[in-house]
Structure 1
Amino acid sequence: MEKTPTLPADDARRTRSDGAQSRERLLLAAIRLFAEQGFARTSTREIALAAGTNIASISYYFGDKAGLYRAAFTEPSPGCESNLHAFTATGVTLRETLAGFYGVMLADLKRGDLARLSMRLWFREMLEPTGVWDEEIDNGIKPAHAALMMVLGRHLGLATPDDDLQRLAFSLVGLAVQLMVTRDVIDRINPLLLENDAAIDAWMARLVDYGEAMVNAELARRSAGAAQPITKPRKKKA
């Protein structure tokens, strides 16, 4: 019985490496073209040509055009849901929690042009929805938001979440989203603020300061409200 031929070790490694590079080229080309043109107006042939590979590679690595689009939308930015451990650990300070949270949310800022293209792809999906954005909300954003609510409630000493805790969580997220959404505006006004990793780290440190102040303000508001005596409304004189 003949043995199945195997590649020499060096050739096998080279084949795996070439495959990974082909997949990466397809993914990068897809991100750029989908961001510029949208899902419907971008063909698989166009993506393969831009990536310098054959169209069959799309089927091999991603299944079909929809699978490639989903990968382009989700893979460059794994998101908070993939790194919940970075900010949900018990026994840590509020600052450590916020540092972990913003570190995860803003990690993509250090990826340069890829971060810009990914954000534009997200905008494109919101304007021309394919259903992937709804999946991201249900499978990514909701779990991450629930985790943030849990740790904020723990730091505030709340037994159950309420609407004000929701507002606080969304406001903390908004500090980071503003950087991602208005990156082009920031670069036009003051490009030094996000010009390199050190500048991004400095901004993240400030976000920890701002976030801590917001949480402490909410704690003070709740404490003041609890301390206020409950008075009955005065009856109007007849």
Structure 2
Amino acid sequence: MTKLSVNINKIATLRNARGGDVPNLVQVTKDIESFGAQGITVHPRPDERHIRYQDVFDLKPIITTEFNIEGNPIPKFIDLVLKSKPDQVTLVPDAVDAITSNAGWDTVKNRGFLQEVITEFKNNGIRTSIFVDPSLKMIENAVHTGTDRIELYTEAYAEEFAKGNKEAVKIYADCAKLATKFGIGVNAGHDLSLDNIQYFKEQVPDLLEVSIGHALISEALYLGLETTIKKYLKLLQA
């Protein structure tokens, strides 16, 4: 079964909109885990517009599943990860002003930098993953960074699937096969939803984990959080 890690950034955005503590991030995290999610993902950004750095320290003691922290490995982020020691860190090359993640790493140009950062995290017992576009070249070069896993950037798949183009999943399947061949685990995320997750799971082999936030929280507005999570879990069991 592919694990479901729920990204709770949107919950933090809602909380921050009123400047208080409603909804309470700790309680929502406990509820999400009780509904069956196998992981919690947060993606703090330098401006802390949704997840705050303090949230990471508040959440760490109460998370009983897998804790995944995503972000651009600037010094402040690296320090946060080393202090909080999550189960997994996912490195994303976000620009400071990015609204959301919009590109994977160039594992050729950034090979040395990624090697250095990944080595430091692995020396501290933290599993590493890097966000990559569905490119065989980027997968081939990811091997040299020493990363434990890759996270396939799935926006292109989601856009094409919505147009009826199911062939768009093929490159993701090919990338997953290549990563597995090299001994790298495969995660995926970005714009995956109840509409497209099952086909992606069926077509992409050895998919270990998906991280879903925006779509899941949006769907939960209509279906409820518990029902939405259980629907994802059912689709990921195939």
**Structure with higher strand content:** 2
Larger Rg: 1
**Structure with higher helix content:** 1
TM-score, normalization by structure 2: 0.24
